[in-house]
Structure 1
């Protein structure tokens, strides 16, 4: 034996073996408790009832009824935005929001944009109205719409429509092209 072995044996004197307690048998299937079943059921229901519509429905900053408004996300070329602003793109679909509540308009806009993208529509016209007749709360739908559109990842740009298409009460909306054509195909 070496000095290290002797030292080890000397240090280990008086040490008692630890009694082994019963181990869990992991090979048997675990029985789900009632509490776990309830938590799982609640989580499943919560997930199923979650609203996929992420558009904000709280108070937004208001715009004036006759304001000309526009938006474009990063990367949209000047000539593409110019054609949209001038109303030169063919309009593939229209959505009229007149006389809708904010909550109904929120649902309809979300669904409409998703359907348009699904069917590969490129330019659509959305008509919230100017809201200039509502003295107490002017341009209500218009204000919400311009806040909702940038929240949708498939909306690349929007601009107030030309007078022939509704003027200050309508918006041209340019949508993402699903079949990956270039934006300059117009």
Structure 2
């Protein structure tokens, strides 16, 4: 007798298991929207390029005045003829912190009735990027605020191109 027959005699009758349906297939991976991802990346890089296209350099002076502000006021601001009633130093803050600090500072200064404030942003000589990040942030934020009448980089004895003097609208 062969081994298989001996084994069957020793085990006896074996009832076969009922047929089981096959296990479900692994779900297919979700499709990857490669074109949408590429479009997003292109849009983000275009946005970054647009932000840096007109970016200020380290030695550039900030300068802006609203149309209803006489040019003479900007000249006086440039020469430092207005006394800064308060100041904030944004050195060592990252962009998000600096923007929050700047907005809070301007709101507080206006609430206090200050007409002129100084913002120290630094010249941007020691940053990782080629353009001074905080200087460009300050320029962008100040241009979009309705309570800012004019601003200009401070005279050399008040910080030069590393600081900006800001004229604020009177509190209503």
For the aligned pair, the TM-score class normalised by the smaller chain equals: 0.5 to 0.7
Q: Determine the structure 2 residue equivalent to 1:29.
A: none
CA offset digits 1:62-101 (Å, max 9, x no partner): 2100101200011101221111111010110011000101
TM-score (norm 2): 0.67
- For the residues of structure 1 that align with 2:71 and 2:95, how far apart are their CA atoms? 32
**Highest Rg: 1 or 2?**
2
For the pair 1:96 / 2:77, whether they are aligned, the reply is: no
Q: Determine the structure 1 residue equivalent to 2:158.
A: 165
Q: 5 Å matches for 1:133-144? A: 133-144=126-137
Q: 5 Å matches for 1:1-186? A: 59=48, 60-61=51-52, 62-178=55-171
TM-score (norm 1): 0.62
Secondary structure of residue in 2 paired with 1:81: helix
Q: Determine the structure 1 residue equivalent to 2:3.
A: none
- For the residues of structure 1 that align with 2:129 and 2:103, how far apart are their CA atoms? 27
Secondary structure of residue in 2 paired with 1:125: strand
Gaps of 5+ in 2: 1-46
Secondary structure of residue in 2 paired with 1:95: strand
CA offset digits 1:100-144 (Å, max 9, x no partner): 010001101111101111010000000110111225343110011
CA offset digits 1:154-173 (Å, max 9, x no partner): 00111011011100100000
Gaps of 5+ in 1: 1-57, 180-186
Query: What number of residue pairs does the alignment pair up?
Result: 122
